[in-house]
Chains A and B, each alone.
Chain A
Amino acid sequence: MAYFQKEIETASREQIRAWQDERLVKTVNHVWNNCEYYRNKMKDRGVEPGDIRSRDDLYKLPFLTKDDLRDAYPYGLMSMPLSECVRIQSTSGTTGKRVIAFYTQHDIDLWDDCCARAIMAVGGTKEDVVQVCYGYGLFTGGPGLNGGSHKVGSLTLPMSSGNTERQLQFMTDLGATIICCTPSYAQYLAESIHEAGLRDKIKLKAGIFGAEAWTEEMRRDIEERLGIKAYDIYGLTELSGPGVSFECEAQAGMHINEDHFIAEIIDPDTGEVLPEGSKGELVFTSITKEAFPLLRYRTKDICVLNSAPCSCGRTHIRMAKPMGRSDDMLIVKGVNVFPSQIEQVLLSKGLTSNYQIVVDRKGVTDSLEVRVEMTPELFSDTMGAMTQKETEITEALKAMLGILAKVSIVGPKSIVRSEGKAVRVIDKRNLYNT
């Protein structure tokens, strides 16, 4: 059994608890002293740093949401002077939805540690060749796993995403043993490897797949077709990136790096903290970050925590694969799609907001359909006028989303409503069913 930081990863629960108590108090003070935005939120709730003496007091702190990140954009949640920050990363969201996070060199070191733990948890050593085909740049996937791989001492192939032919060439020529990418790209690569007849030429043994939801079915498919073990990794740009939690060889939940993050499960409607084992919204508090420490950040991921001992020897609590999102951001063909963007396009074309988004997946390809209710404004007795309108909407959606959506015109009031509200999104991919 190999660990990147054995004494931390297998520490006693008491030790982990002691780290969390101490680091939370320190972080709350740091934020109070350096971040006016959060200080004001604390004042609004009548909370002062002195009220937080251990993680038992965590519930007293106000939540942060993605809306806060937008309100405070760009520098409002930064807790270190600009001169101490060395990096920003950002989410892949389109304009207006972008979230940016800041890092000091120390923050990056700790983030790399987290990713190094993930790589060693899947059997990675300095003998391995790690092919990173997550995107590099603003996206955290590439830089995170790249940094982790360096810390482990593996030979790192900073491939970034795309260019499948070159990916396969390096994979076979250099004998990559561990691959890091999105699960859908892994499936695509598996298909390409089979088509090119390269199955016998690859040396892969494990893959670390994250940044999008995937099913157990996809895991089995990837494992079978590539002859590897497929592991999950979780993270959010807001919290650092991949490596907030990661799967071990037990493949039974992702160990949260609890020396850096405190996880809570709350009722997404009331904000009340739920007992362990309950299903609810996952909330993270970063307790070691300098530049961009987020306190009680609501992830919108619906999840369950499990503190039962793990066969791998790690003592850090495990989170289940998220079962859904409490809001309805969609990831379609690897692109973030917000219903609000689609609504904006429809309104700009003079349509009412009676629409429905249907996402499906055939093989490894996502499809996006936008159903629009026919309105008197859209209706015409000539088919040409309506198909032209359909084309116009399709093009406007393509320009907004960057991916093709099929536009279907349906009857008035035919979109199912629950309690008067239209059901906006139907995701038939069942990505959250395990």
Chain B
Amino acid sequence: MTIKQLSIFAENRNGALYTVTDILAKENIDIRAFSVADTQDFGVLRLIVSDTDKAKQVLAAADMIVSITDVIAVEIPDTPGGLSSILKVIYDNNVAVEYMYAFVIPHTNSKAYVVLRVPDNDAAVAVLQNAGITLIDDRTVRQF
């Protein structure tokens, strides 16, 4: 139970992010979630989009370096302390998290989700599901 994330290399210069969003917009590809990580020299854009394969193809055609990464998307319970309860499971079970970021999907009544990048997806999925946490699949993310 994982979803596909696009990872794109970006130099740290003005307009690098815009170049990516512009290409995707022209291809009618929707961005569902994104996060940016950077150092002094370069950054990585991480995107969840409506059509991952097509997005990779058009970005690669524009000489960008793109890879597809399997990540876990976890539903955040709509209660106080919802995020905290998920983090507790992760912490209690010693799941290493490389990075995480949150997003919202309108067609699921604007529920919030958190993307988790972990070294071992299968192990993390098992831990989360055992704790009764809801994960979503690629199809749910991509449909309108």
A binds B: yes
Q: Are B99 and A412 in contact (CB under 8 A)?
A: no
Mostly, the A contact residues are loop
8 Å CB contact of B117 from A379, A382, A386, A413 = A382
What is the bound-complex CA distance between A252 and B98, given in angstroms? Answer: 63
Nearest chain A residue, comparing its CB with the CB of B37 = A383
B5 cross-chain contacts in A, Cβ below 8 A: 381
8 Å CB contacts to A: which residues of B85-111?
98-99
- B65 near A381: Cβ-Cβ < 8 Å: no
Q: Is B50 an interface residue (CB 8 A)?
A: no
Q: With A381-B5, A381-B7, A383-B37 known to touch, is A409 a contact of B65 (CB < 8 Å)?
A: no
Contact residues, A269-289 vs B (CB, 8 A): none
Task: Check B67 against A381 for contact (C-beta < 8 Å).
Answer: yes
Q: Say whether B128 faces chain A, with CB atoms less than 8 Å apart.
A: no
* Total A-B pairs, Cβ < 8 A: 48
| Chain B residues with CB under 8 A of A387 | 39
B28 at interface by CB-CB < 8 Å: no
Shortest Cβ distance from A81 into chain B, in angstroms?
A: 58
Question: A381-B69, A382-B98, A383-B37 are contacts. A409–B63 as well, Cβ < 8 Å?
Answer: no
- Which of B37, B42, B46, B98 interacts with A374 by CB under 8 Å? B42
Chain A: CB-nearest residue to B71: A381
In the assembled complex, B64 has its CB within 8 A of some CB on chain A: yes
Residue in A384, A409, A413 whose beta carbon sits within 8 Å of that of B98 in the complex: A384
The yes or no answer to A375 lying at the interface (CB within 8 A) is yes
| Neighbouring B residues of A383 by C-beta, 8 Å | 37-39, 44
Q: Does A105 contact B (CB under 8 A)?
A: no
Complex Cα gap A376–B39 (Å) = 18
Q: Is B78 close to A, CB under 8 A?
A: no
A344 to chain B, nearest CB (A): 23
Complex: A23 Cα to B71 Cα, angstroms: 78
Write the nearest CB–CB distance from A381 to chain B, whole angstroms: 3
Q: Does A414 lie at the interface of the complex (its beta carbon under 8 Å from any beta carbon of B)?
A: yes
A411 touches which of B7, B9, B99 (Cβ 8 Å): B9
B44–A375 CB distance below 8 A = no
Is there an interface contact between A374 and B65, defined as CB atoms closer than 8 Å?
A: yes
Chain A 364-390 per-residue mask, 1 if CB under 8 angstroms from chain B, else 0: 000000000011100111111011000
CA A380 – CA B9 in complex, angstroms?
Answer: 8
The answer to whether B11 touches A411 (Cβ under 8 A) is yes
Per-residue interface assignment for chain A, residues 390 to 434, with 1 indicating a CB less than 8 Å from any chain B CB and 0 otherwise: 000000000000000000111111100000000000000000000
- Bound together, the chains give a CA A104 to CA B37 distance in angstroms of 64
Nearest CB on A from B106, distance (A): 25
Chain B contacts for A409, CB-based, 8 A: 41-42
Note all chain A residues with C-beta closer than 8 A to B98.
Answer: 382, 384
Tell whether, in the assembled complex, residue B9 and residue A379 are in contact, meaning their CB atoms are under 8 Å apart. Answer: yes
Q: Which residues of B contact A414 (CB under 8 A)?
A: 11
In the bound complex, do residue B117 and residue A376 qualify as a contact, i.e. CB atoms below 8 Å apart? Answer: no
CA distance A316 to B27 in the complex (A): 72
| Nearest A residue (CB) for B65 | A379
Bound Cα distance from A379 to B37, whole angstroms: 13
Contact of B42 among A375, A382, A384, A410 (CB under 8 A): A410
Asked if B63 contacts A408 (CB within 8 A), the reply is: no
Closest to A377 in B: B65
Given A409-B42, A410-B42, the answer on whether A381 and B117 have CB atoms closer than 8 Å is yes
Interface digits, B1-33 against A, CB 8 Å rule (1 contact, 0 not)? Answer: 000010101110000000000000000000000
Which chain B residues (39-94) contact chain A, with CB distance < 8 Å?
39, 41-42, 44, 46, 63-65, 67, 69
Q: Which residue of B lies closest to A387 (CB)?
A: B39
Known A-B contacts A374-B65, A375-B65, A379-B9; A410 and B99 likewise in contact (beta carbons under 8 Å):
no
- B37 touching A412, Cβ below 8 Å: no
For A410, give the chain B residue with the smallest CB separation: B11
Residues of B within 8 A of A379 (CB): 7, 9, 65, 67
Chain B residue at minimum C-beta to C-beta distance from A385:
B98
CA distance A199 to B37 in the complex (A): 52
Closest to A406 in B: B41
Selected contact of B64 from candidates A382, A408, A412, CB within 8 Å: A412
Contact indicator B39/A382 (Cβ below 8 Å): no
- Chain A neighbourhood of B37, CB < 8 A: 383
Question: In the complex the two chains form, is A413's CB within 8 Å of B63's CB?
Answer: yes
How far does the alpha carbon of A397 sit from the alpha carbon of B117 in the complex, in Å? 32
**In the bound complex, CA of A381 to CA of B6 (Å):** 9
B41–A410 CB distance below 8 A: yes
Q: Using CB atoms and an 8 Å cutoff, list the residues of chain B in contact with chain A.
A: 5, 7, 9-11, 37-39, 41-42, 44, 46, 63-65, 67, 69, 98-99, 117
A-B contact pairs, 17 of them (CB 8 A): A374-B9, A374-B65, A376-B67, A379-B67, A380-B67, A381-B5, A381-B7, A381-B46, A381-B117, A382-B44, A382-B117, A383-B37, A383-B38, A383-B39, A409-B42, A411-B9, A412-B64
User: 6 closest pairs, A vs B, by CB?
Assistant: A381-B7, A411-B11, A381-B69, A382-B98, A379-B65, A374-B9
Residues of A within 8 A of B (CB): 374-376, 379-384, 386-387, 408-414
